Every structure is written in structure tokens, then in C-alpha cells.
Amino acid sequence: MVMGRPRSFDMDKALDEAMEVFWRHGYDGASLAMLTKAMGIKAPSLYAAFGSKEGLLKAALDRYALRRSEHMRYVLAGPTARDVAERFLSSIAESHTDPANPPGCLLVQGGLACGAGSENIPFELASRRAQTETELLERFAQAKADGDLPDDSEPVALARFLSTVASGMGVIASSGATRGALREVARVSLGAFPGKA
Amino acid sequence: MVMGRPRSFDMDKALDEAMEVFWRHGYDGASLAMLTKAMGIKAPSLYAAFGSKEGLLKAALDRYALRRSEHMRYVLAGPTARDVAERFLSSIAESHTDPANPPGCLLVQGGLACGAGSENIPFELASRRAQTETELLERFAQAKADGDLPDDSEPVALARFLSTVASGMGVIASSGATRGALREVARVSLGAFPGKA
DNA sequence: CAACTTTTATAACGAGTGGTAGATAAGTCT
DNA sequence: AGACTTATCTACCACTCGTTATAAAAGTTG
């Protein structure tokens, strides 16, 4: 079996560039012209590699998830539920204002609302956001079973609360909120979490 | 002076329809075709009345602000700062899941990220969101001065926290979160607020 | 080298974008 | 009624959108 002409661009580098464009402009706002220019390839190469604009987004989201899974591993490894919450919000304050990336969260910036023909993108993003919430939920349910969280605590509500605050932080970060402001939100939010003051 | 042919459509009705389209599809995702169809007018009438697509958005945002100002008057009239916070979050849980409107908040759904040529829309939305935060801030600063809030409380941080939670609720509402879920988030969030348990 | 497979670049596709002339219709005021 | 002003309609503008046909280029394998 013959191999054919090898790909002349680095897929991961190209995906990082595409991720940045989607992050900054959203799915609808990211045009093929922007994407191909940022990725340094022409449209046919893009379509050969990713199938469609939506396919490219999903590949970029997969790569984004890869980054986040490292964060989440650290977050979930917190010794107590409260530590997990603290790590979760703090790491978001940092990552959402990391000057190496566009401000905010790709899963929020990517598109809450889309035009005709892109109706499923918001669902795609929402399902990826839900995954993080589920991870928190499972961690808190375990903490409750272990007696780390009080018996009257509500893991579902706590996970949803943290996930909601995280989305909110994504919104204000994209509007220019500083890292200090996000840290403050994280600190105040933690006041709603059971455990030592 | 002569008056000319009178406008044959109801501006407020048309703006309500435009608002709904922007709300559901975002600024970039709302095409002129969608807008004119929903408003029941043709493009030249739209441009004569609003100048541009962006002008139409601003007019719709003004009308949206009008609605919200009624809510905020009630919210800010709460007897204590904690009541204000409770009213704020509760009213958002209701309004963001009002079946009469698209889910979520127009100021979030409208566009956190936009394409080329619409770069100022996110700023426009952010500045309107900031207004609500400022109103809360002023109310809490007053509460602190009155001794309603403790001396060590931070009105800026509290207002920002509530505003962030509100944005987060907008995000999860647009992803299909139920009214019950939003109420739960509101209830948990209130735990971060100083005052009686 | 020659056969084969895949990627690349050029160029274009039809559809849809926001926006606008130009003509016509519908009112008001003298 | 007739002059005047403004709104509405039809048709269209140049442009961009996501996507793709075609053919040349660049490798690997026999």
C-alpha cells in the first residue's frame, strides 16, 4: 500500500490557531478566510483534514478539552470538596485571563446563539460544558458519602452553582474583567460553599 | 410643514420582534432576511427607521432596558441589601425562563464574540450589562453606609459577584436549564451573601 | 524510473450577506 | 384639488459566505 503525498502542515499547530479564531470570534463570526489565514493553509486542505467548518470546530474543541482535562485532574484531586471548589474557581480565574489565549472560555465564547445552519453548535458547546459539571457532581457526591460534605448538602446544586459561576466568569472575562476581579468573584463565591469559613 | 406618508407599521411591535430574533440568534446570526420577515417589513423601511442593522440592535436594546428597568426598580426597592440580592437572583431565574421570550438574557445571547465588522457589538452589550452591576453597587454602598451591611463587607465585590452569577444563569438558561435549576442556583448563591443565614 | 496515492493550489460555484436606487403609494397641508 | 413629504415596494448592488471541481505537485512503494 502506497502512502501518498504527506501533509505539509502541523495539525496540532493549525488546530491551536483555529481554536484561537473560534475563541475570539465565535463559530459564526469565524469565517473560512480568517481560519485558513490563521492556520496557514488553503481551504481544500482544511476540508480534506476536517471535513467541514463544524468538523474543524469539533476538532478544536477536542483539543481544548485535552487542555482542560489536565486542569480538572488537578482540581478534582483536591483533598476536600471545599478544596475542589476553591481550586476550580481559582484555576478558572487564571485560565480565563491568561494572556496567551483570548479572554474567557471557548465553550462560552464559541457561540450561545447561532444563525441559520449552525443551530446545533450551541448544543455541542453546552454538552461539553455539562461534562465539567458532571465531574464536579460526582466528586461532591463522593465527598458527601465520605462524610466530607454534610448530610444535608446537595451535590447537584453545588456542582451546578460552581458551573454557573464559571460560565459567568467566562462572560465577564470576555468583557475585559481583570484577573483580580475574577479572583474576587471566586473568593466571594466560595462563601456559598459549605465548610470552614 | 407637511407630514408625509405615515409609517404603516408599529415600531414597538416591530422592535419586539427584532429583539426576539437577536435574542435567539445573536447579532451576527440574525440576518436581515430573518429580521425583516419577523418584523413584517421590507429592508428599506427598516433602514429608513433604524439606519442600520446595528442601529436596529441598539433600538432593541433600549427597549429591552426599558423592560428591565421595571424589574430593577422592584429589585432595588428591597428593604435590606440581602433582600435586594434575593430579589435580583429570583427575578432573573423567572425572567430567563419566561416562555414568552427566548431563554437566557439578550445582553448575553446577543453576542459575546462577533465577526469582522461587528467588533463593537460585544462592547455595546457589555456596557449595558455593566449598568445593572453599577445599580447594585450603589445600592450596596448605601446599605453599608446605613449599617445594613457589615463594615467589612465589599459592595464592589458583592455587586460583581451577583452580576457574574446573573450572566452565568443566562448561559445555562440558554442551554435549556429549567426554572427550578435556576432557582436552585439563586438559592445557593445567596449563601455567599452576608446577612441572616 | 514509473506507478500510485494523497495533498496542495488555483479558481470558481451558488447562495446569501448588509445595504441601496428609483419609482410608486399614501398620507397632510395650503 | 393639488403640492409636498415621507414611507413602501421591487429590484438590484458588490461582496462574502462555506464549499468544491480540477489539475498540478510531492511524496512512497514496486
Span A68-96, pLDDT tens digits: 999 999 999 999 999 999 999 999 999 99
Q: What CATH number labels A11-190?
A: 1.10.357.10
**Does residue A109 register a pLDDT over 70?**
yes
Q: State which residue has its Cα closest to the C1' atom of C6.
A: A4
Q: In the complex, which nucleotide's C1' lies nearest to the CA atom of residue B116?
A: D16
Task: State the pLDDT at residue A150.
Answer: 97
**For residue B124, how many C-alpha atoms fall within 13 Å in the half-sphere facing its CB?**
20
- Report the distance separating Cα A88 and Cα A90, nearest Å: 6
Residue B4 pLDDT grade (very low, low, confident, very high; cuts 50, 70, 90): confident
Distance from CA of A66 to the nearest CA of B (A): 23
Q: pLDDT tens across A111-161, in order?
A: 999 999 999 999 999 999 999 999 999 999 999 999 999 999 999 999 999
The separation, in Å, between residue B82 CA and nucleotide D8 C1' comes to: 53
The domain spans of chain B are: 67-190
3-class SS of residue B132:
helix
Distance A8 CA to D28 C1' (A): 15
With contacts defined as CB-CB under 8 Å, which chain B residues touch A25? Answer: 113-116
Grid cell locating A126: 453546552
Report the helix count and the strand count for chain A, using DSSP H and E: 9, 0
pLDDT in tens, B55-97: 999 999 999 999 999 999 999 999 999 999 999 999 999 999 9
- Compute the mean pLDDT over every residue in chain A, rounded to the nearest whole number: 97
Q: Find the closest chain B residue to A163 by CA distance.
A: B168
Of B109, B116, B164, the CB nearest to A169: B164
Q: Could you say which of B114, B130, B160 has the minimum Cβ distance to residue A26?
A: B114
Q: Are A153 and A122 in contact (CB under 8 A)?
A: no
- Would you place residue B1 in the very low, low, confident or very high pLDDT band (cuts 50, 70, 90)? low
Strand D, nucleotides covered by protein (CB < 7 Å)? 3-11, 16-22, 25-29
Q: For strand C, which residues in window 109-128 of chain B come within 7 Å by CB? A: none
CATH topology of domain B67-190: Tetracycline Repressor; domain 2 (1.10.357)
Burial of B2-11, coded b for 16+ CB within 10 Å and e otherwise, reads eeeeeeeeee
- Using an 8 Å Cβ cutoff, are A124 and A61 in contact? yes
